[in-house]
Structure formats: C-alpha cells, structure tokens
Chains A and B, each alone.
Chain A
C-alpha cells in the first residue's frame, strides 16, 4: 500500500523528464508508453483538472474521481492528440467538463456538500450573516444552473478563458457561449435582486 505523498511511479522508467518540456512533448512521449513523462503531465495539469472538477462536481470525492478519469482517458488516447489543432489545456478542459456534465445527467439529488455551512454562528454582525446567506443562496443557484450554463460560467469566470476558448472547450460557437453566460447571469441576478428585496422588507 502506498502512503499519501509517496509516488507509485516507477523510478528509472522512461526518459529523464525535462521540466521545461511542453505539454505536447510530454504527451508525445506518453503516447510511446513513457509513464514518467505522463506523471510530469499529471503533476503539472492535475491541479487544474481538480480545480475545474471541484467547481462543477457535487462533492470532493466526485471531483477527484473525475480528475483521475480524465487523466486516464488522456493516457489512453495520447496518440490522438494533435498539438497543431488544439492546445492540451483545451482538450483537458473538454474532458473534465464533459465528465462533470455526464455526472450531473445521472439522477441524483442536488445538494451542497455535507460540511457546507452557509452561516457562521460566530459571525456576530447581522450584515455578515446576511452576506453569508446571500452567498449560500447564490452557491445553490449556481449548482442548480443547467450544465451548459454552469460550464460556461466556470470556464470564463473561474478559469479566465475567453469566450472563444470556452466555445472551443464546449464545442459550440462563441455566440452560443455568450447566450449561456447571459442566461446564467440573468438567473443569478434575479436571485440576488430577490435577496435584496427580502432584506429590505425585513424577511
């Protein structure tokens, strides 16, 4: 059994890994079966996969499972990647987002993680509690957005992709991404406005 922090990757398997080698180079070596090159790829891009998955998946375990599945798929299909046609990160984003969308399609109750505590009882000020409640409502609203809107929001707002890049990841036009974002924002704005109105009338 491997303890956390220890690596299961074999020493001396594959060529020495150049820390400056780009993703396409590492992927080309991975396609020839070089597991050390692939480990370098996982080390570099794993946090990105985990971060995106955690924004869209229902909980931590699902996020980690999705990131792992995405990496294994990349290993299996490494030889199909064409660096002249797409960036590696676009490919990785696409796989992670599609896995998250697939997971959301499976029937399951939409719920926040068990340890999600929207209101910190130690926060004394009424404004803080109110802000926490609004944020929690917004988190719930983001969770309940349709998958496409949610993915567009994650890619553009959290990951900082341009509309065109997000369109490439999602396999839709830039206009379609604009529409997805506009619908998502309209829904969230509605919710925020409703929250403001409730707090104004003291509900």
Chain B
C-alpha cells in the first residue's frame, strides 16, 4: 500500500497529473486521492507548481519563436539538412585515422558494373593466354606460297 510519504515524494517529482506518474503506481495513487484529504492537498499544491512550470515553458517557447513556431522553421530545416547531406561526400566516410573508407551505404551503384566489366576482361585475357599456350604449333609455311592466288578449282568447290 502506498504511504502518504511515498505519495508526497512522487508528487514532488511528477506533479499533480497522475498520467505522468509510473503506470504501475497510478491505481494506488488514485485510491489515495479519493480516500485522503492530505493526499488531495498535496496534489493541489503540486498542481499550482505544474501550472506555473507549464506557463513558463510556453512563455519561453513563445519568446524564442517570436510569433512563429516549429512548423514555420520546418522549411529551413528541410533545406538545411538537404544541403548538408548532399555536400557530405556520401561516397566516403573519414575513418578515425583520417583514412577515407567506403561504407556499404555510400558505395556508388556503378561499382557493380565496374566489377562485371573487370571480371569479363580477366576471363577473356585468360582464355587468350591459355589458347595460345596449349594450341598445336602452326606449321611453318612458305610466305610466297601464302601470297600466291588460290587455284580456281579450289575456290569453286
């Protein structure tokens, strides 16, 4: 059961609005308010301070925004953020040692195409090297014989 001492302590922290109190303590606190005049007095005093704090907060907020509000500042915020994340060199992040590193998120999409092209080039080159190394040696032919015109009957076959 909640004692008045504990009740006062909680009111000193959370104020008069029981919705701010820890959820599991609210039913007991409500019962105490209903049954105890002292508890109601504690809540009454806490409520005065709540009102003052909330009014002071609102007054401060009004003076900071001077007629505007957070919604009016939103377009500036959106544009400011857009400009900063656009100019924040998204492809690299600077590591602790000052060495630029590429992060998974920032890696540009064309990296995939570059990888494919590189792999294809390596495969073609390997094929050429293997083809030349393991193909049977071409017979030595007389250069003059190669330059001679082919016999007519061979072309017509």
Interface residues of A (CB under 8 A from B): 2, 4-9, 31-33, 35, 38-39, 42-43, 46-51, 54-55, 57, 59-60, 63-64, 67-68, 71-72, 75-76, 78-79, 112-113, 115-117, 134-136, 138-139, 142-143, 153-154, 156-158, 160, 162-164, 174, 177-179, 181-182, 185-186, 188-189, 192
Q: What 5 new A-B contacts, CB under 8 Å, besides A38-B85, A78-B105?
A: A35-B85, A46-B74, A71-B77, A75-B88, A188-B52
Q: Mark B41-58 against chain A: 1 for CB-CB distance below 8 A, else 0.
A: 000000011101111110
Question: Could you tell me which residues of chain B, from 41 to 93, have a CB within 8 Å of some CB in chain A?
Answer: 48-50, 52-57, 59-61, 63-66, 70-71, 73-86, 88, 90, 93
| A50 x B9 contact (CB < 8 A) | no
The bracket for how many chain B residues form the interface is 35 or more
| A39 x B82 contact (CB < 8 A) | yes
Question: Could you tell me which residues of chain B, from 1 to 55, have a CB within 8 Å of some CB in chain A?
Answer: 9-10, 12-15, 20-23, 48-50, 52-55
How many residue pairs, one in A and one in B, have C-beta atoms under 8 Å apart?
Answer: 163
| A54 x B106 contact (CB < 8 A) | no
Q: A142-B56, A157-B54 are in contact. Are A68 and B81 (CB under 8 A)?
A: yes
Please measure, in the bound complex, the distance between the C-alpha atom of A143 and the C-alpha atom of B60, giving whole angstroms: 9
| A7 x B82 contact (CB < 8 A) | yes
Please measure, in the bound complex, the distance between the C-alpha atom of A35 and the C-alpha atom of B50, giving whole angstroms: 41
Q: Point out the residues of chain B lying under 8 angstroms from A75, CB to CB.
A: 81, 85, 88
